[in-house]
């Protein structure tokens, strides 16, 4: 038994998935539908499936084979992180895009150790932690469920632990085990990524919320049953965005004859960075032009707002190259009314509008 039957995804009444891009790799869509089909999953086995996921490191493949029911939750966490990253940076030159050559990878990545890479690591780590913890609460994983460690005795102020508290400890441990397995602490970028992974996890765990339900006659709330829930992921993204803006540039120290290991310290100081700060090694490019080595797709063709006072203003977004104006007519159904019986009648509204894109 590999535990695939507990995943709640359905491939029924959907067109068959496209074939893998090569005989040795699986895209996520193909992987998901394999795990939907218990017969196919059992026929292939976790070794075959985990060996064909693009971008996993050896230790991660081992975890995948040991706990195959977690793979979809891990990917959902990665997608959760990418979606929030796009939301946070949608109006900046870097809008959380990566090079097409890196899109097929299981994990989003940047070629250089910039503050953008730092944010991407932190939000991905937080996303995986969030998704794994959520999967535990929903009963989708075999190794965890709700957090049963809390004392259920009634407290002096009239509430007690109950319900299904999110098992954040399991989520943190699993995320650390899986996410940090892709980095070695014997080089500066590996240390940077491990540090930022932990920053993302801490932001999530430090913002857990307590929810309560009242009990009593006529809603008097004589006692309350409370449980811990995960924060909205948008809250995590907002906090990490602020940390991105105040991130510290660090440098490697160590690797001398008498130094057993390397560490990171804040540049131009002797202080080690705290786990409350994101860190990066290299300055970011301008993201104005296409630069594969820097991970920049440029801003040619990006939409901008010529009346904005923020970073999406056309002059800033287009890096002074100018912008094109596109005029078009937008139409939509409006003033809809329900007519007895049983139809809806709508007017067609339209307006002339303009769109601006960078040259």
Q: What is the pLDDT of residues 83-94, one digit of tens each?
A: 999 999 999 999
Find, among 194, 182, 193, the residue nearest to 61 by Cα. Answer: 182
pLDDT at 50: 81
pLDDT band at 205 (very low <50, low <70, confident <90, very high): very high
Q: Using an 8 Å Cβ cutoff, are 48 and 64 in contact? A: no
Using a cut of 0.85, tell me whether the model's pTM lies above it: no
Q: What is the total count of domains within the chain? A: 2
Residues 268 and 341 in one domain: no
How far is 267 from 115, CA to CA, in rounded Å?
A: 14
Residues 246 and 312 in one domain: no
Residues 237 and 325 in one domain: no
Q: What are phi and psi of 318, to 5 degrees?
A: -90, 5
Mapped onto helix, strand or coil, the DSSP state of residue 77 is helix
pLDDT at 35: 55
Find, among 123, 121, 103, the residue nearest to 112 by Cα. Answer: 121
Q: What is the CATH number of the domain that holds 310?
A: 3.30.2460.20
How far is 223 from 200, CA to CA, in rounded Å?
A: 35
Is the residue at 269 inside a domain? yes
pLDDT band at 115 (very low <50, low <70, confident <90, very high): very high
Print the domain residue range for 308.
303-358
Residue bearing the bigger pLDDT, 270 or 39: 270
Side-chain-facing half-sphere of 186: CA atoms under 13 Å: 3
Q: Using an 8 Å Cβ cutoff, are 268 and 325 in contact? A: no
Is the residue at 64 inside a domain? no
Residues 271 and 312 in one domain: no
- The set of residues, in sequence order, having a beta carbon less than 8 Å from that of 148 and lying 6+ positions away, is none
How far is 245 from 358, CA to CA, in rounded Å?
A: 25
336 membership: H or E segment, kind and range = strand 323-339
- Here the tokens at position 189 are 């970028």
């Amino acid at each position: 038994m590999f535990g695939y039957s507990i995943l709640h995804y359905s491939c029924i009444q959907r067109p068959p998935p496209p074939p893998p891009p090569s005989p040795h790799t699986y895209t996520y869509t193909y992987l998901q539908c394999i795990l939907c089909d218990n017969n196919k999953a059992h026929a292939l086995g976790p070794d075959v499936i985990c060996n064909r996921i693009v971008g996993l490191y050896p230790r991660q493949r081992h975890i995948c084979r040991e706990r195959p029911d977690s793979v979809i939750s891990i990917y959902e966490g990665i997608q959760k992180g990418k979606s929030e990253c796009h939301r946070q940076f949608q109006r900046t030159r870097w809008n959380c895009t990566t090079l097409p050559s890196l899109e097929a990878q299981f994990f989003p990545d940047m070629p250089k150790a910039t503050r953008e890479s730092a944010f991407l690591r932190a939000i991905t780590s937080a996303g995986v932690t969030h998704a794994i913890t959520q999967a535990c609460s929903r009963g989708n994983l075999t190794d965890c469920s709700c957090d049963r460690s809390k004392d259920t005795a009634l407290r002096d102020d009239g509430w007690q632990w109950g319900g299904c508290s999110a098992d954040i400890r399991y989520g943190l441990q699993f995320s650390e085990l899986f996410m940090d397995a892709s980095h070695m602490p014997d080089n500066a970028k590996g240390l940077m990524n491990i540090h930022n992974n932990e920053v993302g996890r801490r932001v999530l765990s430090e913002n857990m919320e307590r929810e309560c339900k009242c009990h009593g006659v006529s809603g008097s709330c004589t006692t309350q049953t409370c449980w811990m829930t995960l924060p909205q992921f948008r809250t995590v993204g907002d906090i990490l965005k602020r940390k991105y803006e105040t991130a510290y540039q660090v440098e490697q120290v160590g690797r001398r004859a008498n130094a057993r290991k390397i560490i990171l310290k804040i540049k131009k100081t002797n202080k080690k960075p705290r786990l409350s700060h994101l860190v990066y090694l290299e300055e970011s490019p301008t993201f104005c032009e296409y630069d594969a080595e820097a991970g920049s797709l440029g801003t040619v063709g990006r939409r901008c707002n010529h009346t904005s006072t923020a970073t999406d203003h056309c002059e800033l977004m287009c890096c002074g190259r100018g912008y094109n104006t596109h005029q078009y007519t937008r139409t939509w159904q409006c003033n809809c009314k329900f007519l007895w019986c049983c139809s809806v009648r709508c007017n067609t509204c339209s307006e002339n509008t303009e769109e601006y894109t960078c040259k």
